[in-house]
Amino acid sequence: MLDLIIIGSGPAGLSAAIYGIRANLNLLVIEKDYEGTGQVALSSKVDNYLGLPGMDGYSMGEQFRQHAVDFGVKFLEASVTELKQDPGDKHWIVKSSDGSENEAKAVIYAAGAVHRHLGVKGENEFSAKGVSYCATCDGAFYRGKVTAVVGGGDTALDDALYLSGLCEKVYLIHRRDEFRAAEITVSKVKAKENIELVLNSQVEEILGDERVNAVRLVGGRTLDINGIFIAAGSVPVTDVVKGVAELNPAGYVVADETGITSAPGFFVAGDVRTKTLRQVVTAVSDGANAATSAAHYITNL
């Protein structure tokens, strides 16, 4: 039996793996994406991680993963589909999409979060045909074109700024009249001549033929666009842990920075945990803490 299974190889899972292996734990990381490194890979530039200013997120993720590989961490490429605790000695049984069943004394759940959908007409129909959830991934396809960004937080405003450097014009559609983003980012957005703020507005329908060509807002105003970037927040990935540990009303696994959850031997780290700041630096910190908690738990078994 393994000491530890880590689910997810984003910054939290990889940091947990490094702390776990240095604590001499026999561990396995299960990750559903091919050599996945989590959401950080979607960031065009990570400017707020200490000591690595201006690094693109893809390279940062690769560097994190290589660190784990160099330390001898073993990976399984599969999606975890079920988690349960043995009623006898309370070890954990982890079933994955490849049919494998791995057993460990403890689990660290670091499955992160995914983009929230608007749930409006046309959104699914035009997905990858003008509807995108990642400006840094798809923005270059809209060079010289007109796009819209939906949202009012840091991601939305960052996306609008990024796109303003590529597109002829960017509409920033937000349902309120104030943004939740950092003040410095709001100032930068307001200073951009080719970003038009469309405030107190909600998307009713995304329109098009083969591809997106317009967006209709509640109230009837229609904006002609070539693409729309949805940046309406994220939702925790917790389907497989419902009933395993306590979740808060928004679906995040309840734990403080120790990563200790309501279920013995089940720890949580990164964006999927209850916390206020979801960033690379806090995910990495969570991974270190959760692995340390897991090592103590295993020692005391």
Ligand X SMILES: Cc1cc2nc3c(=O)[nH]c(=O)nc-3n(C[C@H](O)[C@H](O)[C@H](O)COP(=O)(O)OP(=O)(O)OC[C@H]3O[C@@H](n4cnc5c(N)ncnc54)[C@H](O)[C@@H]3O)c2cc1C
Site for ligand X in 157-216 (CB under 6 A): none
Annotate each residue in 248-287 with x if it binds ligand X (CB under 6 A) or - if it does not, as one string.
Answer: ----------------------xx------xxxx-x----
Beta carbon nearer to ligand X, 111 or 161: 111
Does position 156 interact with ligand X (CB under 6 A)? The reply is no
Catalytic residues: 134, 137-138
Query: Could you tell me the sign of the dihedral formed by the alpha carbons of 120, 125, 130, 134, in that order?
Result: positive
Site for ligand X in 110-129 (CB under 6 A): 110-113
Site for ligand X in 127-146 (CB under 6 A): 134, 136
Beta carbon nearer to ligand X, 97 or 200: 97
**CB of residue 112 vs ligand X: minimum separation in angstroms?**
2
Does position 226 interact with ligand X (CB under 6 A)? The reply is no
Does position 245 interact with ligand X (CB under 6 A)? The reply is no
Beta carbon nearer to ligand X, 9 or 201: 9
Beta carbon nearer to ligand X, 39 or 293: 39
Count, residues near ligand X per rule CB under 6 A: 38
- Residues forming contacts to ligand X in the complex (CB under 6 A) are 7-13, 30-33, 36, 38-40, 42-43, 46, 48-49, 79-80, 110-113, 134, 136, 155, 237, 240, 270-271, 278-281, 283
